[in-house]
Amino acid sequence: MKKYKVFSLLLIVAFLLAACGPAAPKTIKIGINAPLTGDIPKVGEGTKYAAEMWLEDIDAAGGLDVGGTKYKVELVIEDNESKADSAVKANTKMITQDDVLIIVGPQSSKQAVPAGEVANNNETPMISPWSTNPKTTLDRPWVFRGCFLDPFQGPVIANFASEEFGFTKAAVLYDVASDYPKGLAEFFKAAWEELHGEGSVVAYESFTTKDTDFSAQLTKIKNSGAEFIFTPQYYNEVALIVQQAHELGWTGPIMGSDSWGSTETVKLCGPDCYGLFFSTHYAAAGATGATKEFIDRYNAKYGYVPDDVGALTWDAMNIAKQAIQDCGKITGDLKADRKCVRDALASIKNFHGITGDMTFTEDGDPIKCAVIVRISDAGEYEFYKQVCP
């Protein structure tokens, strides 16, 4: 018993000494706000795995080199249960109790929008790898993201269809009662008409959520002389639309957006979807260079091909790393260090990520290329082309 007392006393002394020691700490803490449980645990798992793999590299290099000094990096991983209030709580805890330098996450806009408010109010830099909603970073100088925004994809598909196929007449079919497809359809229409003039979207047809029969709309599209269909829908509607279009004799291309990216799309749609294109963040099949390295390493370590969340988290971790390194030194004054990292983040130019090159705007959004994926004849999502803003 006495021994323990002496031991704990020694420990306390050691801690006190450590606290009074040099002003600059030898560890850097990075917060991870991820949905480890809840509706989308797979997203949380991808986040955690990518971050841990990143930490391995840092540890292997003997720490993170900032201005000639090596710092040990510690990850503080908090579960946000895929809930908005838990994400806010997790951010508050990491900022005020764990003293993290920077936060990576949350992933979904549902959590990233409210959690971003906390980070911004507490003047702590935050990077959401996956949130595409404009509100996440809007008027928040401390909040950044690792992916493009919803309004960007419309022009991406418009440019791709014009340049790749030389099309001039487009048709759009979208769900008028759902925010994401409606927004994208409008952005696409505006971009297309800017390229090809008023009236070049020859059919602009819509339906409402839970409709299953699109024959009338598709007949109109077919008779309108459109050369391709743009339909920014979710997987089950994609299957219905593509299959019905083919049954009605439509032979042209059908294109979509990152909502097609679920593996469910091909499962439901089958061979009907083979050969179609959509825009997204990254393509696993046919990746090259650093992207392929990441995929292979992840696959070997965890036993499955990472989805876009894993890849975007990997990039966000490396963006954080670069910002810390660009900062030049860690003073130990958390407030000043956080400010320094934020400023470094905002001035990152030409960052080479595995999901593409990025340059950050003052709003915290990257100027970034999108990937056009072709669904291969084996039903895999194959890299086809990069489209840049």
Partner 1 sequence: MRQRFQDIDYLGVVLWLLRTGIIILVIWGSVATIIQNPYSSKTWMDFIVFGVAQGSLYALIAIGYTLVYGVLFMINFAHSEFFMSGIFTATILLANPMKASGFLDSHPFVGLGLITITAIIVSVAIALLTERVAYRPLRKAPRLVPLITAIGASFFWQYFFRGLFGSEVKPFPQIEGLIGKIPFLGTEILINQVVVIVVAIIMLIGLYIFVMKTKIGKSIRAVAEDKDTAALMGIDVDRAISITFAMGAAMAGIAGVLYAMVFRQVHFFMGFIPGIKAFTAAVLGGIGSIPGAAVGGFFLGMFESVGPSLFLQGLGIPAPHQLKDVIAFTMLVLVLIFRPQGILGERLAEKKA
Cβ-proximal residues to 93 (8 Å cutoff; 6+ apart), any chain:
78
Rank residues 243 and 325 by Cβ distance to partner 1 and give the closer one. Answer: 243
Q: Dmax of the chain from CA atoms?
A: 91
Sheet holding 102-104, edge to edge: 64-66, 69-79, 27-34, 102-104, 126-128, 143-145
Beta partners for 297? Answer: none
| Smallest distance from partner 1 to CB 213, Å | 6
121 binds partner 1 (CB under 8 A): no
Size of the site for partner 1 (CB under 8 A): 29
Count Cα neighbours of 246 within 13 Å in the Cβ-side half-sphere: 15
- Stretch touching partner 1 by CB under 8 A, among 50-58, 206-214, 349-357, 378-386: 206-214
Rank residues 218 and 344 by Cβ distance to partner 1 and give the closer one. Answer: 218
Rank residues 2 and 210 by Cβ distance to partner 1 and give the closer one. Answer: 210
Rank residues 42 and 267 by Cβ distance to partner 1 and give the closer one. Answer: 267
Of 10, 39, 74, 267, the one binding partner 1 (CB under 8 A) is 267
SS3 34: strand
Q: Per residue, what are the HEC states of 137-196?
A: CCCCCCEEECCCCHHHHHHHHHHHHHHHHCCCCEEEEEECCCHHHHHHHHHHHHHHHHHH
Neighbours of 279 (CB within 10 A): 28
Rank residues 59 and 247 by Cβ distance to partner 1 and give the closer one. Answer: 247
| Smallest distance from partner 1 to CB 234, Å | 10
CA gap 319, 200 in Å, rounded:
40
- Stretch touching partner 1 by CB under 8 A, among 50-58, 68-76, 116-124, 210-218: 210-218
- Stretch touching partner 1 by CB under 8 A, among 1-9, 94-102, 189-197, 267-275: 267-275
- Stretch touching partner 1 by CB under 8 A, among 201-209, 290-298, 324-332, 344-352: 201-209
| Smallest distance from partner 1 to CB 209, Å | 10
CA gap 126, 144 in Å, rounded:
6
307 binds partner 1 (CB under 8 A): no
Mark 269-298 with x for binding to partner 1 (rule: CB under 8 A) and - for no binding: -x----------------------------
Which residues within the stretch 162-191 sit at the binding site for partner 1 (CB under 8 A)? Answer: 176-177
263 binds partner 1 (CB under 8 A): no
| Smallest distance from partner 1 to CB 215, Å | 4
Alpha carbon separation from 258 to 151, 323, 376 (Å, rounded): 12, 28, 16
Mark 222-261 with x for binding to partner 1 (rule: CB under 8 A) and - for no binding: -x-----------xx--xx--x---xxx------------
Rank residues 16 and 216 by Cβ distance to partner 1 and give the closer one. Answer: 216
| Smallest distance from partner 1 to CB 86, Å | 23
**Contact between residue 58 and residue 64 where contact means Cβ atoms under 8 Å apart:** yes
Beta partners for 64? Answer: 71
Q: Could you tell me how far CA 342 lies from the centroid of its own chain?
A: 19
- Stretch touching partner 1 by CB under 8 A, among 104-112, 131-139, 264-272, 378-386: 264-272
Rank residues 270 and 275 by Cβ distance to partner 1 and give the closer one. Answer: 270
DSSP 104-127: E---SHHHHHHHHHHHHHTT--EE
Amino acid at 305: V
199 binds partner 1 (CB under 8 A): no
Tokens 């299959």 — which residue? 243
| Chain residues in the site for partner 1 (CB under 8 A) | 176-177, 204-208, 210-213, 215-217, 219-220, 223, 235-236, 239-240, 243, 247-249, 264, 267-268, 270
